């Protein structure tokens, strides 16, 4: 194996501190990933050597902060293979999707259609419901197959001429399924609709060629891709961003303000009202740059080997049902399952006593849970620093938990 | 260690909760969800004056939620609306403010003491009491 | 003096690192303050010992993160003397005011009036212009006196029965004037209007008894009060927050989601969609707690003594005009001035060569600049860690700059 | 040290900018603002065919902005629209991409070399050129 997982673990202080007495098998990366020292160092360097506000100051701290912030945007753009001035820093995926729902939503009329899916995270459902209530758009929903993928068999029926946007997860935070973006883009193009991808779960698994995906918007969160909380990014096509009205009003997003009339700044500043999360964006840029330097084919092989080990272990249990694809094709290493007679929270609580950090519940995807008539699932979400011992601890702990709860 | 939550007493009550009983022509029936975990509890009550004459539950939830519902099934009949409210308050205080468990008939709520240290699970225990409280209010309201 | 400024400076790594070769006289605190080690430590402790998502996890990292996040809210509430469940974490003041403009704004009808003032920061102007364009409200503007204060002489005329909200700065980021809140609240109460205070500039100068101010909303930013970027707070009265519809949709702000219909969580969660800025909120809570432990009467005396030293020094110059109150009554230690024949940016640039960090420009308050027919001012904004040497370096540098530019 | 920006040459041009001249019956007049600092430049031009026949400016701005406007006043008359566009591009490249200053008539733009290291000031130098560019476009458009 060309990928040295122990060396990677050593870069993450929280993982490095876990020891024999208090082992940690962190398998809740889908909720929040851990953060490497190099990202913390970048944030600390800002805080202790160039902390200042950006864009308007001429003193040396402000110049340094402004340059670092611009560099962070450039790095994020390289991570997504897009132009830097199409990258908007937000406070996270949720804020990014809401920005589109408000600002692109403002271009829609009653009767226009937005298509989401049944496997979306609430962050990609509720903003569209609010838009529906605000503007009378029609919200349509792609179904989900029995193995937890987008069901595209009726795509052509659901995506009509009235469709203005298809907004779906690039990868599901519950089933781990990666969406067939090409088919979705083709359907959208056929009717002149735009496509937004919620990339929150895809971003921790390596750089994304957004240009090749040929979508119109891409949203992600820093805290899931080894960067600080409180920052995320929205990429949008320049022409669309230019056309959209601003969303939040405030400093930094204006050209001139009089009480009567305000002229807005150019993209991306038009959508970055107020002091941005400077230190956090610098951290996100550093995380993006760090990720760009890694050997992703090797990491993917590693992640997929672990996912297979987990799927195999779960597959041997007759009381356990996997919610999602059973194989490794078009998936990220996120695995959800339900155990007969053992509630997800009880399973997670008992696993925690062995240092295995999982998530139990609806994973902010209640419509998907309803689709499968489940109150929730147990989810193991892997990152590059997980290893065999994490999977084995989960499987052993599960045996024990089921015995105790049974 | 957090598995001290899963003492035999709790597991026994949780198992017993599989049969939540039934109430014919209940005076009130309330279903409550826990938004964070998807747990769901339904409580049916029949009153006799100010007292609970019969009670049944359905739980789709974790062992803690099931166990709390089962303790209710065992202890609530014959209690008054005010008595239940007081007990629910005592249980909450036991979990959140380090108070002692209720004395008397409800002393078996002491089995939930280890849950104290697990804030995220407090609501699992409290949900059936919340549903019961709503059901009692509904019953009172429907009598006018 | 009971206040030991050297001891306080030592708590701030960026200030402690400045030395004789590269002195730093940081007088741009109104833009962003510096951050003490204790706040950095709190953030780092989260990142390296309990990094996890909040609210929904049962594993020990999630329990620790959730508890720390709740404690941060409680601390912020103590800083403002309000109830913790009325404190909403936002990404900053701008986001907080926009939240009110959208969510409280949703309760307004065409023809309802919102009153702001001519000295507001763009963050407290543009959101209301956007609301005006969205809902047809009427935006009215309190004038400003010649010494840069809110001119309340026509308050009763401007605040009519149609007024639903008065939104003004608690303290001006340009003139340093502190608003006469009691008069504003009285005028609002007389017609049943609400009051929002933009506390961004007031917060760095000590805890605020918001209950005693008797306002309805209070907004502030972490990065100006010794905490990280990317976080701020909005306080609102419970009854109002309950009445307001949600603003952003997403995870954490819901009770149940179906595609047809979503039921929202209780306040404050209703207004905290998505993963919050957890580490940053913990930092803000720590900064609030740190501030609560300081001797503010002594600090105010220190800050005001420095402000007086600065006002005196500037007052001796015949080419310099102060934009703002000339005295120390009802002001924060923020001083703006214009120098005849020397453009603010040139002054700031030349001062930077002496390590004096100032801000020159319109300070995101263009309507105020227009009121005084100035392209901009030079602003010195002080914090508790400034000392005599900072003021003297400014005054000497100004002499020299004017000589060179003259 | 960043005060190397304020070389005598720049200060002299800035001083000279106090008198921006005047153009009677200009073919175009454009006012531009720098949103970040409140600087404002107005440029009036009169054309003679494709060439600038006369030019005046009004600057409310910093020394850099004034100096750039003054260099324009001194050098722009007789230039073509394309020539101005090329010079503006060269100036931008000098500031942003470490290119050499323009050669020939416009070589005095080299006085702005020290501004390179101060990103936040680039726009101060570029604003008068942006205003001139717009004025030339307007003049061309108005001729149809
Ligand atoms: C008075 C005032 N209001 C609002 C803001 C905006 O704060 P932020 O940029 O942190 O959102 C500022 C600071 O820039 C300010 O000084
Ligand atoms: C698929 C998906 N979309 C959106 C989100 C929301 O991200 P955030 O909470 O960081 O805004 C998440 C994570 O919670 C997610 O997994």
Name the pLDDT band for A125 (thresholds 50, 70, 90): very high
Q: Tell me the pLDDT of chain C averaged across its residues.
A: 96
Which ligand is nearest to the Cα of residue C381, counting in written order? Answer: 1
The helix/strand/coil state of D13 is helix
Q: Is residue A35 part of a domain?
A: no
A268: cis peptide before it, omega within 30°? Answer: yes
Beta-carbon pairs below 8 A across chains B and C: 23
Are C219 and C330 in the same domain? no
Torsion of CA A42, A43, A45, A50, to 10 degrees: 120
Structure tokens at D43: 């440029």
Structure tokens at D23: 């153009």
- Residue C275 near ligand 2, beta carbon < 6 Å: yes
Q: What residue ranges define each of the domains in chain B, with the CATH number in brackets?
A: 3-143 (3.90.1010.10)
pLDDT tens, residue by residue, A170-228: 999 999 999 999 999 999 999 999 999 999 999 999 999 999 999 999 999 999 999 99
CB atoms within 10 A of CB A318: 7
Measured in angstroms, the CA of D2 and the nearest CA of chain C are apart by 6
Phi first, then psi: give them for residue C357, nearest 5 degrees. -95, 110
| Residue C123 near residue C172 (C-beta atoms within 8 A) | no
Give the structural domain span for C109.
40-292
| Residue D68 near residue D34 (C-beta atoms within 8 A) | no
Q: What is the pLDDT of residue A68?
A: 96
C355 vs C397: CA distance, rounded Å: 10
D122 vs A66: CA distance, rounded Å: 13
D13 vs D11: CA distance, rounded Å: 6
More confident residue, C52 or D38: C52
C84 vs C212: CA distance, rounded Å: 16
CB atoms within 10 A of CB C161: 9
Q: Is residue C196 part of a domain?
A: yes
Q: What residues contact C263, with CB distance under 8 A and at least 6 apart?
A: C254, C255, C256
Residue C118, Cα to own-chain centre: how many angstroms?
A: 17
Beta pairing, strands C262-264 & C254-257: antiparallel
Are C20 and C93 in the same domain? no
Residue C160: which CATH number? Answer: 3.40.640.10
Q: What residues contact A195, with CB distance under 8 A and at least 6 apart?
A: A165, A166, A167, A168, A181, A184, A185, A188, A215, A216, A217
Measured in angstroms, the CA of D116 and the nearest CA of chain A are apart by 12
Give me the mean pLDDT over the A23-49 stretch.
Answer: 97
| Residue A122 near residue A98 (C-beta atoms within 8 A) | no
Q: What is the pLDDT of residue D138?
A: 93
Q: What is the pLDDT of residue B1?
A: 38
C319 vs A201: CA distance, rounded Å: 59
Residue C370: which CATH number? Answer: 3.90.1150.10
Q: What is the pLDDT of residue A85?
A: 96
Name the pLDDT band for C320 (thresholds 50, 70, 90): very high
Given the structure tokens 């193009």, which residue do they identify? Answer: A189
The helix/strand/coil state of C110 is coil
**Which one of A248, A266, A292 terminates a domain?**
A292
Are C334 and C241 in the same domain? no
The helix/strand/coil state of B97 is coil
Structure tokens at B84: 């239940």
Query: Closest residue (by CA) to atom 7 of ligand 1?
Result: C93
Cα distances (Å, whole numbers) of residue C230 to C102, C225, C291? 20, 12, 19
Are C95 and C244 in the same domain? yes
Cα distances (Å, whole numbers) of residue A27 to A24, A194, C44? 9, 34, 21
Are C182 and C144 in the same domain? yes
Q: At what angle do helices A344-352 and B119-143 cross, to 10 degrees?
A: 150
Structure tokens at A249: 């009003």
Give me the mean pLDDT over the A81-98 stretch.
Answer: 98
Are C9 and C54 in the same domain? no
C352 vs C343: CA distance, rounded Å: 14
pTM, rounded to two decimals: 0.95
Of the candidates A338, A264, A53, the one whose C-alpha atom is nearest the C-alpha of residue C26 is: A53
Q: What is the pLDDT of residue B2?
A: 42
Buried b (16+ CB within 10 A) or exposed e, A177-214: bbbebeebbebbeeeebbbbbbbbbbbbbbebebeebe
Residue C347, Cα to own-chain centre: how many angstroms?
A: 25
Q: Answer yes or no: do C376 and D38 touch at CB < 8 A.
A: yes
Q: Is residue C35 part of a domain?
A: no
Lowest mean pLDDT among C69-73, C391-395, D95-99: D95-99
**Which one of A244, A262, A292 terminates a domain?**
A292
C135 vs C105: CA distance, rounded Å: 8
| Residue C55 near residue C205 (C-beta atoms within 8 A) | no
Name the pLDDT band for C251 (thresholds 50, 70, 90): confident
C57 vs A29: CA distance, rounded Å: 12
Q: Is residue A316 part of a domain?
A: yes
Buried b (16+ CB within 10 A) or exposed e, B107-131: ebbebbbbbbebebbbbbbbbbbbb
Q: What is the pLDDT of residue D1?
A: 38
Q: Answer yes or no: do B37 and A345 touch at CB < 8 A.
A: yes
For a mutational test of ligand 2's pocket, the pick from A93, A277, A383, i.e. the residue with the most ligand atoms closer than 8 A to its C-beta, is A93
Of the candidates D76, D75, D119, the one whose C-alpha atom is nearest the C-alpha of residue D95 is: D119
Are A244 and A273 in the same domain? yes
C181 vs D93: CA distance, rounded Å: 52
| Residue D116 near residue D94 (C-beta atoms within 8 A) | yes
CA of A127 to the centre of ligand 2 (A): 13
Are A321 and A259 in the same domain? no
Torsion of CA A84, A87, A92, A96, to 10 degrees: -170
Name the pLDDT band for C20 (thresholds 50, 70, 90): low
- Indicate the number of domains in chain C: 2
Closest to C51 (Cβ–Cβ): which among A14, A59, A249?
A14
* Torsion sign over Cα C292, C293, C298, C302: negative
Give me the mean pLDDT over the A51-55 stretch.
Answer: 92
Structure tokens at C1: 């003096």
Q: Is residue A132 part of a domain?
A: yes
B55 vs B45: CA distance, rounded Å: 5
The sheet with strand C377-381 has its strands ordered as C320-323, C334-339, C377-381, C359-361
Give me the mean pLDDT over the A277-287 stretch.
Answer: 98
Measured in angstroms, the CA of C240 and the nearest CA of chain A are apart by 20
**Which one of A264, A292, A320 terminates a domain?**
A292
pLDDT tens, residue by residue, C120-142: 999 999 999 999 999 999 999 99
Q: How much is the CA Rg of chain B, to the nearest whole Å?
A: 14
Q: Answer yes or no: do D40 and C375 touch at CB < 8 A.
A: yes
Give me the mean pLDDT over the A150-169 stretch.
Answer: 98
Give me the mean pLDDT over the C380-404 stretch.
Answer: 97
Provide residues with CB under 6 Å of ligand 1. A 251, 274-275; C 30, 92-94, 121, 123-124, 169, 173, 198, 200-201, 221, 223, 364
- Residue A29 near ligand 2, beta carbon < 6 Å: no
Are C212 and C167 in the same domain? yes
ipTM field: 0.93
Q: Please tell me the number of Cα atoms within 13 Å of A189 on its side-chain side.
A: 10
Q: Is residue A236 part of a domain?
A: yes
Are A242 and A360 in the same domain? no
A179 vs A331: CA distance, rounded Å: 9
Q: Identify the bridge partners of residue A150 per DSSP, sorted by sequence position.
A: A144
Evaluate if residue A2 carries a pLDDT over 80. Answer: no
Q: Is B121 on the interface with C (CB under 8 A)?
A: yes
Are C288 and C306 in the same domain? no
| Residue A267 near residue A296 (C-beta atoms within 8 A) | no
| Residue C68 near residue C50 (C-beta atoms within 8 A) | yes
Query: Angle CA(C332)–CA(C73)–CA(C296) in degrees, nearest 5?
Result: 30
- Residue A339 near ligand 2, beta carbon < 6 Å: no
Q: Which residue of C has its CA nearest to A356?
A: C59
D47 vs A79: CA distance, rounded Å: 48
Mean pLDDT by 10 residues, chain D (144 residues): 76 94 94 81 95 95 94 95 95 94 92 92 94 94 76
Are A112 and A25 in the same domain? no
D20 vs D17: CA distance, rounded Å: 5
Q: What is the pLDDT of residue C107?
A: 97
CA of B24 to the centre of ligand 1 (A): 62
């Amino acid at each position: 194996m060309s990928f040295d997982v122990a060396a990677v673990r050593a870069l993450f202080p929280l993982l490095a501190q876990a020891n024999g007495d208090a082992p940690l098998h962190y398998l809740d990366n889908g909720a929040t990933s851990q953060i490497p020292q190099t990202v913390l160092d970048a944030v600390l360097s800002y805080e202790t050597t160039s902390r200042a506000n950006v864009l308007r100051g001429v003193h040396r701290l402000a110049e340094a902060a402004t340059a670092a912030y611009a560099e962070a945007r450039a790095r994020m753009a390289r991570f997504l293979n897009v132009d830097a001035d199409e990258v908007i820093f937000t406070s996270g995926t949720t804020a990014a999707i809401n920005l589109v729902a408000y600002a692109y939503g403002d271009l829609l009329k009653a009767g226009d259609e937005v298509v989401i899916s049944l496997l979306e995270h609430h962050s990609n459902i509720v903003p569209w419901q609010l838009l529906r209530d605000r503007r009378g758009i029609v919200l349509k929903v792609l179904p989900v197959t029995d193995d937890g993928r987008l069901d595209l068999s009726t795509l052509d029926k659901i995506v009509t001429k009235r469709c203005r946007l298809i907004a779906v997860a690039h990868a599901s935070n519950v089933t781990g399924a990666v969406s067939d973006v090409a088919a979705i883009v083709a359907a959208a193009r056929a009717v002149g609709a735009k496509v937004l991808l919620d990339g929150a779960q895809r971003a921790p698994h390596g750089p994304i060629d957004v240009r090749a995906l040929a979508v119109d918007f891409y949203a992600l969160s820093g805290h899931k891709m080894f960067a600080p909380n409180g920052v995320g990014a929205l990429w949008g096509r320049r022409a669309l961003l230019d056309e959209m009205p601003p969303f939040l009003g405030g400093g930094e997003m204006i050209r001139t303000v009089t009480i009567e009339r305000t002229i807005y700044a150019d993209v991306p500043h038009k959508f970055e009202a107020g002091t941005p999360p400077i230190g956090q964006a610098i951290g996100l840029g550093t995380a993006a740059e760090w990720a760009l330097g890694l050997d992703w084919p090797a990491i993917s092989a590693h992640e997929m080997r672990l996912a297979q080990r987990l799927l195999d272990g779960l597959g041997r249990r007759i009381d356990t049902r996997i919610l999602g694809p059973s194989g490794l094709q078009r998936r990220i290493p996120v695995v959800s399952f339900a155990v007969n007679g053992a509630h997800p929270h009880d399973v997670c609580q008992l696993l925690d006593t062995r240092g295995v950090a999982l998530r139990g519940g609806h994973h902010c995807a209640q419509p998907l849970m309803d689709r499968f008539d489940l109150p929730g699932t147990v989810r193991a979400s892997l990152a590059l620093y997980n290893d065999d011992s994490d999977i084995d601890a989960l499987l052993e702990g599960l045996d024990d938990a089921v015995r105790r709860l049974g | 260690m957090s598995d001290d939550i899963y003492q035999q007493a709790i597991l026994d009550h949780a198992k017993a909760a599989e049969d939540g009983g039934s109430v014919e022509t209940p005076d009130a029936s309330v279903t409550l969800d826990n938004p964070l975990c998807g747990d769901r509890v339904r409580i049916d009550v029949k009153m006799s004056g100010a007292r609970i004459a019969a009670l049944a539950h359905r739980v789709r939830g974790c062992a803690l939620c099931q166990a709390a519902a089962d303790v209710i099934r065992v202890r609530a009949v014959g209690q008054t609306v005010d008595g239940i409210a007081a007990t629910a308050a005592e249980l909450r205080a036991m979990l959140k403010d380090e108070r002692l468990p209720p004395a008397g008939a409800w002393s078996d709520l002491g089995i939930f003491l280890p849950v104290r240290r697990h804030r995220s699970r407090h609501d699992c225990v409290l949900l059936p009491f919340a549903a019961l409280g709503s059901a009692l209010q509904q019953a009172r309201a429907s009598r006018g």
